[in-house]
Structure 1
């Protein structure tokens, strides 16, 4: 007998098959589409392509938009400043839209001055 009683030969074949099976599963997971562990780069869309968010302001620059967003945060309204294909937009959730528009329509408070 070249391989003894045959169990070592059978064990080596099973080990190779098991390793091959693990490799196939790993490669299938690696090259499958739609289940990546790495986050995809955000896609820029139009102002109506942001799900539950609706635009409430169209600032000329991102700096102006950030100032408007800070006014909303001061009034406890969650806002998001996004760069859309139409330019910068200040977005809020649908249920906060009326409140956010009324806050942004009011004149801004005077700046705090150091004494």
Structure 2
């Protein structure tokens, strides 16, 4: 006999089957849906689909929205410009809503003149 008493042959078959089982579990985990470490494509949502953010402005274009966001940033208010199903919205955290609306309601400051 090549393997002796035959029990080592049985052990080698069990080791191969265990290896296939581990590979099967690993591949099942790798290709299972919904648990990817790769970020999904962002999707548009409604105004209320952004968690802790609350809409404070509804600009007509993304450019206008970015200008409003920069006005908030000058006053140390963090804002986020998002594209929703209803168009662009400027969002801020709930605690900053009152201050952000006050800043946006005030007329923008004129640009500083530069002496040449």
Check whether TM > 0.5.
yes
Q: CA deviation at 1:15?
A: 2.9
Q: Where does the alignment leave 5 or more consecutive residues of structure 1 unmatched?
A: none
Deviation track 1:1-25 (CA, whole Å, cap 9, x = no partner) reads: 2323446424422331232122111
Please, what is the CA RMSD of the aligned residues? 1.5
| Structure 1 residue runs of 4 or more that deviate by more than 3 Å after TM superposition | 5-8
1:1-115 equivalences in 2 (<5 Å): 1-6=1-6, 8-115=8-115
Where 1:82 maps in the other structure, the secondary structure is strand
Rounded to whole Å, the distance in 2 between the matches of 1:15 and 1:74 is 66
Deviation track 1:50-91 (CA, whole Å, cap 9, x = no partner) reads: 111110001111111001001111111110000001000000
Aligned length: 115
Rounded to whole Å, the distance in 2 between the matches of 1:46 and 1:57 is 14
Rounded to whole Å, the distance in 1 between the matches of 2:30 and 2:73 is 42
Q: Where does the alignment leave 5 or more consecutive residues of structure 2 unmatched?
A: none
Rounded to whole Å, the distance in 2 between the matches of 1:83 and 1:39 is 18
Query: Normalization by structure 2: what TM-score?
Result: 0.89
Query: Normalization by structure 1: what TM-score?
Result: 0.89
